[in-house]
Structures are given as C-alpha cells and as structure tokens.
Structure 1
Amino acid sequence: MGQDDETRTPLPVLLEAVLGVGSELELRTTLQHIVDTAAELTDARYGALGVVDPERGLLTELFTAGLSEAERERIGALPDGRTGVLGALIQDPRPLRLADLTTDPRSSGTPPGHPPMRSFLGVPIRVHTEVFGNLYLTEKRGGPFTEEDLALLRVLASQAGIAIGNARLYETARRRERWIEGAAAVTTSLLTGETAADALMTVAERARLLADAAAGVVLQPTEEGGMEIVAASAPDDPGDIVGTTIAPGSPVLVQLLGGEPVFIEDSATDPRMTTHVRTRFGPSMMLPLQSGGKLIGTLALPRRRGAEPYTAVDRLLAAQFASQAALALVLADAQHNRERLAVYEDRDRIARDLHDLVVQRLFATEMMLESTRRRAVKSSGDDTDELLTRAVDELDSTIQEVRTAIFALQQPPAEAPATVRGRVLRETDGAGALLGFRPSVRFEGAVDTVVGEPAATQLLAALRTALAAAHRRPGISSVRVTVDATAALPDGRPGVRLEVTDDGAAEDGTTETTVTWQSPV
C-alpha cells in the first residue's frame, strides 16, 4: 500500500504543474514558472531553462531556479552553450541523465563561484517541431535523478512547449500591434505637415522606441555615392552621429543601395562596418526605406554592445515598419510639394492681379495727373504745379512699391534669394523686424542684370550698415531705400547707387538723414 502511494504521489503534483504552466501568457513569466516547476517536481536543488537561438545554435537567455542574486553575481556571465554538457544537449537535443556530470567527458567544468553540481538531468523543449530551449536540473536531493524523474520532466517539457507556443503567439501579436500602431502614428504625424527634417526624426525616434534600440538612425544617399546620417534619435549618446558617412564601395552600402536589409550581430567587430560610431553598438538592423522601387534612405536600429540580438520576428516587424514609413515619407513629400505649388499659384495670381489691375490703374492715374498738371501750369501758377508734381511723385513711388511687392511674391518662400533684388528685400525685411515697420524699397533700372559681383556684395554690406545706423537714431518712423542701377559715377562710368533715408533725429538736430553709397558695376 505504501509503495502504491509512492507511485501515485507524483501524479497530482504533475497535473498541478501542467495546469500551472499553461496559466500564463506573458512569455518571460511563463519561462520562469516552467523552470521553477521543474525543479520542484523533481526535487532538484538547481534548475535552468536555456533559450536557444535556432540560427546560431547558442543560448541567448538563461532562466534559473535555486540561485540567489548573490550567487548569480559571483558566477558572472552565464554560459552560451558552445561547450560542455549544455552544448551537448543543444547539438543533440535528446534527454540526458547523468549520475555525476563532473566525470562525463563532455563536461567543461564550472566557472569560479559556481555552486558544486553533480547529478544532472536535461530535456529539450520543443514548440511544434522547433527546439525552443532546454531544461537543465542538477543536484537532486536524496540521490541521483531516476527514470521516473525523466518521465515526469518529459511530460512537463511537452506541456511547456504548448504553453511557450501560446505565450509566443500572444507576445508576437502584442508586438505586431505596437509596431502597427507605431507605423500608423508615424503616418499621421508625417501627413500633418512636418518639415522634411522633422519627418525623418519622427521615423528614427519612433523606430528606436519600438525596437528597444540604443539609437534610431536615418541615412540618405550622397552625391558621391555613399550614405550620410541625416537624422538620429539617441538620447544617451554624444551628438556626433549626424553627419557620419558610409564611404562609397562599402559592402554594407552595396547591399543597402540594392534595396537589401543588413543584419549585424556586433557592429563593433563586424568588418563591414567602417564608421567611427560603430564601436559603441552591438546588434544592429539596417533596413532600406524604399517605395515604388525608389530608395529614399535607410533606417538603422543599433543596440548597445552586449544587448540581446534581434530575433526573426523583430526583423520582420521592423522591415514592415520601414516599408510603411518609406511610403509615408513619399506621401508627406508629395503633399508638401502640392501645398507649396498651391502657395506659388496663389502668389502668382496675386501678382498678376496687382500687375494687371492695380499698377495699370495707378499708371493711368499718374498719366492723367501729369496731363492735368501741364494744363494747370498754364492757367494757375506755381503752387498748383508743385502740388500736382508732388502727387505725381507719390503715385510713381507707389507704383515702384507695388512692383517691389510683386517681385517679392514671385520669390520661392523659405529659400535664400539668388538675385540682387531678392537679397536687398531680405535685408530690409530683416531690418523691419527690429524697426517695427518695413522700410520702403525702390529699384531703378535692370538691377539684377546690371549689378554683378562683387558690387552686389558691397552694396548689401553698405545697406546693412545704413539700416543699423538708422535703427540707432531716436524717433525713427520711416526708412526709404533706393537702389539705382542707372546711376553714373563722377568719372562717367556706369555704376549703381544706394540711398537710405530715414526720419530719425540725428546728432546735429536734423530730422532726416540720407546715406549714399555708389560703386561701379
């Protein structure tokens, strides 16, 4: 009767263990629960569950039971499964039971600080047909491990494979959901009108967070045939990443320019990596950003040295994110171009309206006043002539101002002007922010055609000096700038003249100051 009780005793414990193993959906919690249960079920002092990387045949993680935190710290780096009994079970995934592992020829000993271990029991854990990892148990209390222990552990490993499969599916689904949400957030952000630089930074930062990477980096092709880092999200790293280039002809570059992803186990030691920032990174993914067969850049996601390598699921989800981000970048760029085109068209329309309606009417009015002035001179006198002359001059100045406004409307926004007119207008606009009003600007003659370098550079320097001096005078309320490309120098040579007149109070008490500068063209 007592023998029958001993035979049946493990069964309730096994059933309870099986039920407990399948109660979790979070993968890491499930793995820790499995190794704790296995040690308890077989009465082992120590237990471990090693997760095997199927591509490299190495242990990537080790969950332990029976070891205190102090003991784990004394042991140091945990084994990677390349050698020893742990490696033997990886190379030949079949149950293994040893009475004394120290006498086995496959044993490679234990590192300093490791607890003494003799009896050993190990079984593989399979998820479907793939070996996910191995259960290792040592130091059974009361003697070596028995065949009954092996049978119990095999049943537990079988059920653990099912539980791990479910947990992996759940974790993959959650990760996929996060990546999909991240891609949708990036698309929404890019289509709200961000600048090109902000758009690339958004992609880099969001990808870094999703991949749990040390940095998120976007590279773009250079004119020389290489690639340059144009955006980087790396909060804990120095700001020397942006601007780093990959030289033309690099093996990594050949793959990237061909639209192929590059996966690296250790950036610091991989000979394909040539940049100066590689020494601070370990596992890395470099994913092409391409849409419609066109490569617009590369998304790189390096992790720190010694960090967990990327899994096949990580690579797949990141590649899908990169494809979505590339499409969003193309759409955002197209939307930005459409908005700029709409601005250009609207400004062209305003300029045409000003030219066709306002200027023509002002010019017609000026002609009428000029004709009236000539008639009035014969019948009235000097007062009337002076009054009408002043009106004609004011209209002429207004026409010049409107033409200047038309020219400004025709300049591309947010771009440095290349013409002399545009550069003068940019200087006066900048001075307007300080003065509190915009100086009036008048051009005489074909300024852009006549005035070349270095006269244009000297003119702009003189203009800045005059505007700065005007700003320092008290009581200033108006500034008039005239650029005359029809002026002649005292020696008769053709030249350009700049006049800047303001109504500020000068040191000599005058209320109008004119600064004149001229140069040959």
Structure 2
Amino acid sequence: MTDPVPRLPSLLEAVLSVGTDLELRATLQHIVDGAAELTGARCAALAMVDPKHESPVEIRTAGLAAGDRSPVGRTDDFLAVPIRVDDEVFGNLYLVDKPRGPFTDEDEQLLRVLATQAGIAIANARLYETARQRERWIEGAAAVTNALLTGEAAADALMTVAERARILADASAGVILQPTEEGGMEIVTASTPDDPGDLVGTMIEPGSPVLEQLLGGRPVFVEDSATDTRMTTRVRHRFGPSMLLPLQTAGRLIGTLALPRHRGGRPYTPVERLLATQFASQAAVALVLADTQQRRARLAVLEDRDRIARDLHDLVVQRLFATGMMLESAQRRTGGGDVHDTLGRAVDELQSTVQEVRTAIFALQQPPADAPTTFRGRVLRETAGAAALLGFQPSTRFTGAVENRVPEPVAAHLLTALRRALAATARRTGVSRVEVAVDATAELPDGRAGVRLTVYDDGTADEGTPGTTLTWQSPL
C-alpha cells in the first residue's frame, strides 16, 4: 500500500468541501464531486439507502454523461465504501473508471476518511434542514393565528388553516373535515393548487375504521390512501401518503386537518408528522380564540343595537305618536277645508314614519351575522341587498301581524315578487326613493283577506312617465 501522505492536501480540500454547505442536496453533491477528484475517478455516484423506494436514490457527479451506465451495480473495476450517519448506513459511495489504472488501497483509505467526514456533514445538514422545517412551521402557525384574529368569517378561517398547512407540508391538498349529525365526517373546506373538484362534500361514513380515531382526537398516518383498507372515501384513489390530524383543544374537537400527497409522492417523515401535529393543535387554539373574539364582538354589537332600539322606541316613537294624537285632535276641531286636509296628510306621514321607525327597531334587534328566519327579517334582507345596487336604503313598512298571518308558501312567493320588483327598480333611471309596503290586513277584490306587496319608486318608467308602482297580492 502506498503512503497517502502526499495526497493529504487533496484529502483536506475534499474534507473541507463536503462541509461548506448546510443544504442536504448540495452536501451530497459535494461528497460525490470530492470523491471523484480525490481518487481521479471519471465518474461517481452516491446511492442512498431508502426503504421507501424500490431502487437506490442516486446523486451523480458531472463526469457521468447522459446515457452513461450508472456505476451502481457494476462488476468491472470499481470502488465502493459505505457512508454512516449516526451508526446507520445512509448510503454507498461508488467510483468507477479511473484513467490512471485500477483503484488502489490508498484510494480506498482516502475514500473511507472522506466517507467518515461525509457522515458528519450529512448529519449536520439533516439537523439544519430539521431546524429550517421547524422554523417554517412555527412561522406558518403564527401567520395563521394573526390571520384568524383579524376577524375572518368561519369559512375563511378554515380555508386559511387548510391552505397554509398544504403549503407547509408540500401536500397536494389541504382539507378540513367536521363531524356530521349522522356520526360521520364531511369535508367542508378544500385547498388545492388547482380546481379541488368534488372534494368538498366528501363523506367519511359512520363505521369507517379511521373514524373512531378521528372522532377521538387521535392522528392517523397513512402510507398510501389508495390501497389502505382503512380509507373508505370516494376520493381515496387520488392520493398516496396522508396525514389526518385532529383540530382539538381543551377536549373540544373542531374537526380534522387532512394533508394528502399525490400517489407515489414522498412519504411523510417522523419530523414532518410531529411538526404538522403541533401545527394542527395551535391552529385549533387559534380557531377557538377567533370564534370567541367574534362572539364577543357580535355580543357588543347586539348590546349596542338593543340600546339604540330602546332609545328609539322610548323617545322617538312615543314622541311621534303623541304628535300624531295632537294633530288628529286639531284636525277634528278644524271641521274641514285646506287646513283639515293638510293636517290629515301630516297625520298619515307621521303614521308612516312610526311604521318605518318600528321596522328599523326590528332590524336592529336581529343578529348581525345570522341569516334571518322570520318573514319580516327576510323582507328586510331583500331590501338591504337592493341598497347595494341603488346606493341608498329603501324604506320598508309593515301593516298587520305579518309573522302570524302570512303562511310560509305565500311568504316565499311574496319574497320572489319583491326580489323581481327591486331588480326592475334598480334598472330604471333617476331613482332616488323606493318605498316597500307589506300589508297583511288587505282585502282582495273578491272580498277575501289577503296580503298585498307594494313597491314604489320615483324613477323614470320605460314610457318616460315618472314614478312606478308595482303591486302583488295573494289570499291568506
């Protein structure tokens, strides 16, 4: 065996080279290039031992041209040494085609020294990559928390969690499942780089092998969704490695965060599983905090609206009513003439104003974020929607016990007629005032009791005449 000392500078240079980069892929490339230069081999390759792949994962030097046969597995003159990381074989370093003759014991000795240093460099690169992963997941969790606490709606908050987790996990989809009344789970939110298709609405039916774990708040890790018998959803064949993580805090299960990768995708490492599980726990806390914050804000708005409604009722309505009574008394004393007619019109205007103020009081008492369920509330929702097109709020007046007298089928037809009338009003020019009236005490031409909807606007009709009144009515 020749003395390796003369080649010591080259060895030191190669050893220093493999530790110059903290990125794992770059470190592996430095190892392969350094081994080729140190031994004078024309080409080299590093075959990583990865049980998740059927064949070795290779890093090759530039000396291996396209179309050249890999040095891995050759039976001609070659040199191979293992690279160990933390007492485990990470891979094997292969060298072939040495122009100046066969490989020597000196080459093997130098290569083993380089392999030892390479194991240390790979371990450092792994630690660095793990630290970077932790940093990204921590930053992602902080970003989700900040986004949720800015007052996003519930659906937007779930999408924020799903999308951020998908990006961090390098998954093909990020989905949120929530428990159903039937005892299963349903995908309610899906984030994908492309069209999510029919992911939303996909069910995990009761009796599924994974359902008990999910409802119990335990994570589920799947190597291949398409072939795992525990997976029963209709979209399972699209995905490979998957994580299903509970969104749970203080014993409260909000749902499940699922992060599937494409079929044949890279399996999740233990570090990725741990970081994703921690992210899901933090996201669940953020969702609960955001929901609590929104509830408090909603309660504050309701309390403020209730106070305004009481003030309107106690002060404005009573004063208007008292003024109307005085005007009616004065009207009776005048006996007739212009003054009598003027007072009559003033009384009518006051009565209309009282009705509109009472409608405003009712609207103030409705939950701001919930869809109205009462007939009166649904009418107000339609007029509020029209305000976005008109640029102002239509006045709305109710007469009679509309909640008790108007049955649901009639209410549905009336709302449809109202929607069409408001749409026609928005298309007319010069509209500055819209009045909507719902009268549940109307009498139809045939004498039957009915409900009448009247929509008036001061815009210009198609024939050029100012003012348009649309009327719809139905028996009760």
Q: Deviations over 1:389-420 (max 9, x none)?
A: 22222111111110011111122234332222
CA contact (8 A) 2:32 2:59 kept: yes
Report the CA distance shift for 1:409/1:9 in structure 2 as closer, same or farther (over 3 A): same
Structure 2 residue corresponding to 1:64, chosen from 60, 84, 87: 60
SS in 2 for 1:251: coil
Q: Deviations over 1:304-338 (max 9, x none)?
A: 33332222222222222222122111111211222
Considering only aligned residues, what root-mean-square deviation do their CA atoms show, in Å? 3.1
Equivalent residues in 2 for 1:318-337, closer than 5 Å: 318-337=276-295
For 1:444 and 1:516, locate their aligned partners in 2 and report how far apart those are by CA, in whole Å.
15
User: % of aligned pairs identical?
Assistant: 71
For 1:508 and 1:43, locate their aligned partners in 2 and report how far apart those are by CA, in whole Å.
95
Amino acid at match of 1:263: F
Does residue 156 of structure 1 match 2:120? Answer: no
Q: Which residue of 2 is the match for residue 269 of structure 1?
A: 227
SS in 2 for 1:68: coil
Give ranges in structure 1 of 5+ residues lacking alignment: 79-85, 87-109, 111-115
Does residue 41 of structure 1 match 2:38? Answer: yes
Q: Which residue of 1 is the match for residue 152 of structure 2?
A: 194
Give ranges in structure 2 of 5+ residues lacking alignment: none
Q: Which residue of 2 is the match for residue 17 of structure 1?
A: 14
For 2:339 and 2:463, locate their aligned partners in 1 and report how far apart those are by CA, in whole Å.
34
Structure 1 residue corresponding to 2:410, chosen from 452, 455, 474: 455
Q: Which residue of 2 is the match for residue 125 of structure 1?
A: 83
Amino acid at match of 1:195: A
For 1:266 and 1:161, locate their aligned partners in 2 and report how far apart those are by CA, in whole Å.
31
Q: Which residue of 1 is the match for residue 162 of structure 2?
A: 204
Q: Which residue of 1 is the match for residue 123 of structure 2?
A: 165
Q: Deviations over 1:32-74 (max 9, x none)?
A: 21223234434444433233347x69767322236635237x7
Does residue 242 of structure 1 match 2:200? Answer: yes
Q: Which residue of 1 is the match for residue 451 of structure 2?
A: 496
Structure 1 residue corresponding to 2:213, chosen from 255, 261, 273: 255
Report the CA distance shift for 1:472/1:198 in structure 2 as closer, same or farther (over 3 A): closer
Give the structure-2-normalised TM-score. 0.88
Q: Deviations over 1:78-107 (max 9, x none)?
A: 9xxxxxxx8xxxxxxxxxxxxxxxxxxxxx
For 1:140 and 1:474, locate their aligned partners in 2 and report how far apart those are by CA, in whole Å.
89
Q: Which residue of 1 is the match for residue 441 of structure 2?
A: 486
Q: Which residue of 1 is the match for residue 47 of structure 2?
A: 50
For 2:130 and 2:462, locate their aligned partners in 1 and report how far apart those are by CA, in whole Å.
78
Measured after TM superposition, the shift of residue 508 of structure 1 is 8.4
Report the CA distance shift for 1:389/1:160 in structure 2 as closer, same or farther (over 3 A): same
SS in 1 for 2:370: coil
Q: Deviations over 1:452-502 (max 9, x none)?
A: 122212323343454455556665543433322223445554332333444
Give the structure-1-normalised TM-score. 0.81
Report the CA distance shift for 1:230/1:40 in structure 2 as closer, same or farther (over 3 A): same
Report the CA distance shift for 1:324/1:61 in structure 2 as closer, same or farther (over 3 A): farther
The structure with more radius of gyration: 1
CA contact (8 A) 2:247 2:256 kept: yes
CA contact (8 A) 1:52 1:60 kept: yes
CA contact (8 A) 1:45 1:66 kept: no
For 1:276 and 1:67, locate their aligned partners in 2 and report how far apart those are by CA, in whole Å.
48
Measured after TM superposition, the shift of residue 279 of structure 1 is 3.4
Aligned residues: 476
Q: Deviations over 1:278-299 (max 9, x none)?
A: 3343322222221112221222
Amino acid at match of 1:36: D
Structure 2 residue corresponding to 1:316, chosen from 246, 269, 274: 274
